[in-house]
Amino acid sequence: MPKNCNFIEKLREVGLRPTKQRIKICEVLYNREKTFHFTVNDLVKMISEQMSQKISLATVYNTVHAFEKKGYLKEISIDSQKTYFDTNTSAHHHFFDEDTHELIDCDGSDIDKINIRKTITGKKINSIEVLVRIASDNQNQK
Amino acid sequence: MPKNCNFIEKLREVGLRPTKQRIKICEVLYNREKTFHFTVNDLVKMISEQMSQKISLATVYNTVHAFEKKGYLKEISIDSQKTYFDTNTSAHHHFFDEDTHELIDCDGSDIDKINIRKTITGKKINSIEVLVRIASDNQNQK
DNA sequence: AGCTACATTATAATTATTCTAAACTATTGA
DNA sequence: TCAATAGTTTAGAATAATTATAATGTAGCT
């Protein structure tokens, strides 16, 4: 059974027409064991390597943002200019390696649940994100 | 006693020459009761309003980054393309209002200390940042 | 098969930031 | 006090990520 059928259904559910390009995007994003992190640029590169015809940047941006809006992707904030996305949409936190610019997932046992005592009237909490910045520890090696 | 003397000393300590422009930047950043958040653009606007001659974007970027490197300013990561800076350099976390794009400080009593159980060999933790995204709560008003 | 609405695409536009090189100025020492 | 010099400022160009545009293409209904 071709896996693409799932993606066609998935796209329909989300209200997107299943086109060649979008199915390809789905394949690259979701046809894998583990969730992963990527930038739009990464994604375009991956797709270009796997397709004969090239895909437009605009299409990738549009589709990725459509997925994000529907909750199939999560955006991650890091100070660099680039926007990272995560195919792991469950609530979790991240380590960011400032040397390699690599993002690493934390699971529930790595960080205790964050308890926010402050409330702001008329506002609800959309999300709580923890970013732990790490870098090589040269202290001991010198 | 003119307050500028402090800024001249401060700049010298940081290893920057105290020029008109830099002193003006210091005044706008540190001549106030409370710490605050800003983007480089905000800062240029504030300075332009207070000075007859205009200040170059490049100067502001250079100076702000010099301060940041020395620990006199903190950079804050938010998904938008803009980089926010904070004159409050102590360890603290933030609320980000997604409606108004306003940043709000949390103090120690708002969020418990974050305990990270995960360690990555050869890497040290540089910082732990919590960002709580909030937005207007329309659930009850509809 | 053909219509129509939605998609894709290349390209231009926009925005934030960094770079560059020429003009300027604070500091140092004579 | 004044000139030399090393660091600064500046306007504008360059870059990079992202978004908008408008012409062309295509999925899905009839």
Q: What is the 3-state secondary structure (H, E, C) of chain B?
A: CCCHHHHHHHHHHHCCCCCHHHHHHHHHHHCCCCCCEEEHHHHHHHHHHHCCCCCCHHHHHHHHHHHHHHCCCEEECCCCCCCEEECCCCCCEEEEECCCCEEEEECCCCECCCCECCCCCCEEEEEEEEEEEEEECCCCCC
User: Does any strand C atom come closer than 7 Å to the Cβ of A22?
Assistant: yes
- With contacts defined as CB-CB under 8 Å, which chain B residues touch A77? 77-79, 131
Residue with tokens 């008003």: B141
- Count the Cβ atoms, other than its own, within 10 Å of residue B129: 22
pLDDT, tens digit, for every residue of B10-49?
A: 888 888 899 999 999 999 999 999 999 999 999 999 998 8
Does the pLDDT value for residue A112 go beyond 90?
no
Cβ pair B124:A114 closer than 8 A: no
- For position A142, what pLDDT does the model report? 38
pLDDT, tens digit, for every residue of A75-89?
A: 998 877 889 999 999
Residue in chain A lying closest to B82 (CA): A81
Does the pLDDT value for residue A2 go beyond 60?
no
Please tell me the CATH code under which domain B4-76 is placed: 1.10.10.10
- With contacts defined as CB-CB under 8 Å, which chain B residues touch A86? none
Map out the domains of chain A as residue ranges: 4-76
Q: What whole-number percentage of chain A has pLDDT above 90?
A: 56
- For position B88, what pLDDT does the model report? 94
- For position B1, what pLDDT does the model report? 39
- Count the Cβ atoms, other than its own, within 10 Å of residue B90: 10
Q: Stretch A5-31: mean pLDDT, rounded?
A: 89
Q: What whole-number percentage of chain A has pLDDT above 70?
A: 94
pLDDT average per 10 residues of sequence, chain B (142 residues): 68 88 93 92 90 88 93 87 91 90 88 89 92 83 42
